[in-house]
Amino acid sequence: MSIPETNGIFASHYLLKEQLSSGRVEEVWKAEDWTAEGAPVTLRLYAPHIRLDHHSLEQLQREQEQRAQLQHPHLLTPTHFGVYEGIPFEVAPLHLQQTVAQAAPLPENQIARLIAQVGSALEYLHTQQPPVLHRQINPDNIILDAQGNYLLAVPALSNQLRTLLHRATGTPLAQGTAYAAPELFGPHPVHSGASDVFALGVSLYELCTGETPWLGNGGLSLSQGAEIPIIAAPYSRILSNLVRACLHPDPERRPSAQVLVEEATYYLEYGNWKSYGAFGNVTAESIVYKKRSRLWPVLLILLLAGALAAAYYFFVWKAPGEEMAADVAVTATDTTSAQSAITDTTAAVRTPEETKPATPVKRQAAVRKPQARTKTQQTPTTTKPASSRSVQPAYPQPTSLEGYLNGLLNEEIPLQVRDRWRAQILKYFSPDAIIYARMHDAPLGSFGVGEFIDILLSTEEGNSIVIDKVIYDPEEENAIDEINVSIIAAQ
């Protein structure tokens, strides 16, 4: 049995150009296929330094046949399998530039592209009958090709066959702890599609930060009570929420590959994540991020109520008052005007002791007549006509940005009043200003000004806000470019 070497010929028509990885279980070579005019290919050799038994070769053949049936534009599958001088090998086209492990960290738009393309390949595997589990998702198995597309390499070996080959070659089996979900460390470890999503989440965190979470201990740390890490700026809060959802310790609460594809496709189409999607919700304790569309029915009802109140005032209150003045003018027998009669009547109401002997009996009767008619209005006779309109309570308008932000949290002020402060608050900021919020000394996220106003209007508990730091826009005087705030939870 010949030993593969650089510039050597393997299986009669593969010229070995460069060894990409080596090991006793498998070797990967960059080669040229002479049957295809020297096309570059990847040649994977299994256990090249020993002769495998017949049972192992049969199992390899079965797995290769299963992988050959998988066809997806973002799934990298082998095109040929064979055995040469007792060495099983498979061939795949070499149309890649690098693995994403070599390209990290990736910008957010490339992370979204990766999620959409690799997620679609993962969705394809999970929807097969029966479902095909990848089990080995990590940055080394995600390929960036020459066209800038992301491909998911089909796992070369199942866990069962990999264990068999490690035993045959006498090499220890290294487990990928960094990408293993917490349920794989329990008393009944079961790999599922959610376990693949967890591994993808670990890979995404690594491609954003350049580090594996939990110091490479994977789900083992989660099972022992570790916290799910947050991806910090410059990545968006919603992307961080998406990755954290993939890393949830409960498999049932992780998103499916289909959901991930839908979210990433939206980003690629519109240039931003869904603000009100599954990952746009602010879930930090008392802050609940709700759709602003729910406010409009309330505002509409309030406007209708105001219109009805105005109509009631005009037809029920104001009109009878005018009739009262007319009656007084008609029944008055002296030469005084209707205005003086109303003035005397008002004075008589305020100081009854001054109206005893001087007022004629006929005039008193004329004045009392409209008083009897207004009895049905249930309005005290001592109320001036000018003050008869119901007055809404006045709410003091804040005089500072911190006052406005805290006012938005005050549920004693009607929602429509607080919402009208939006325009005043926006005047403090530049158009692209960012608000960095903290809660309980932990980062809550970064928000646009309008988005943060929506959050405060939707808060269900009375917290307070303290402004920690303000950075002004150098190109626009007195316009805030960045601001750091702390949300203090009510005790």
Q: What is the pLDDT of residues 57-87, one digit of tens each?
A: 777 778 777 777 888 999 988 888 888 887 8
| Mean pLDDT in residue range 431-454 | 83
pLDDT, residue 322, reads 52
pLDDT, residue 91, reads 87
Domain chopping of the chain, boundaries:
1-94, 96-281, 398-488
pLDDT, residue 354, reads 40
Residue 451 has pLDDT above 90, yes or no: no
Q: Quick one: which H or E segment has residue 448?
A: strand 442-448
Residue 483 buriedness (CB in 10 A; 0-12 / 13-18 / 19+): buried
pLDDT, residue 344, reads 45
Question: pLDDT class for 345, splitting at 50, 70, 90?
Answer: very low
Identity of residue 93: P
Q: How far apart are CA 92 and CA 40, in angstroms?
A: 9
| Mean pLDDT in residue range 365-383 | 43
Residue 183 has pLDDT above 90, yes or no: yes
Question: pLDDT class for 277, splitting at 50, 70, 90?
Answer: low
Residue 384 has pLDDT above 70, yes or no: no
DSSP for 322-389 reads: HHHHHHHHHH--SS--HHHHHHHHHHHHH-GGGGSSSS-HHHHHHHHHHHHHGGGGT--TTS-GGG-S
| Mean pLDDT in residue range 385-390 | 46
Q: How far apart are CA 317 and CA 302, in angstroms?
A: 21
| 240-265: pLDDT as tens digits | 999 999 999 999 999 999 999 999 99
| 388-425: pLDDT as tens digits | 444 556 788 899 999 999 988 888 888 888 888 999 99
Residue 199 has pLDDT above 60, yes or no: yes
Round the average pLDDT of the chain to a whole number and report it.
76
Parallel, antiparallel, or unpaired for β 39-46 and 87-93? antiparallel
pLDDT, residue 281, reads 47
Q: How far apart are CA 270 and CA 274, in angstroms?
A: 9
pLDDT, residue 265, reads 94
pLDDT, residue 338, reads 39
pLDDT, residue 324, reads 47
Pick among 3.40.50.300, 2.60.40.10, 3.30.200.20, 1.20.1070.10: CATH of 1-94: 3.30.200.20
Q: How far apart are CA 197 and CA 152, in angstroms?
A: 13
| Mean pLDDT in residue range 117-133 | 93
Question: pLDDT class for 121, splitting at 50, 70, 90?
Answer: very high
Residue 491 has pLDDT above 60, yes or no: no
Residue 54 has pLDDT above 60, yes or no: yes
Residue 167 has pLDDT above 90, yes or no: no
Enter the tokens of residue 129.
Answer: 């009958």
| Mean pLDDT in residue range 467-485 | 90
pLDDT, residue 443, reads 74
| Mean pLDDT in residue range 356-374 | 41
Domain 96-281 has what CATH class?
mainly alpha
- The CATH code of domain 398-488 reads 3.10.450
Q: Pick the more confident residue, 96 or 435.
A: 435
Q: What is each CA distance from 268 to 19, 98, 109, 219, in whole angstroms?
A: 37, 23, 7, 30
Backbone angles phi, psi at 16, to 5 degrees: -80, 120
pLDDT, residue 320, reads 53
Q: What is each CA distance from 10 to 41, 52, 169, 311, 485, in whole angstroms?
A: 13, 18, 21, 94, 65
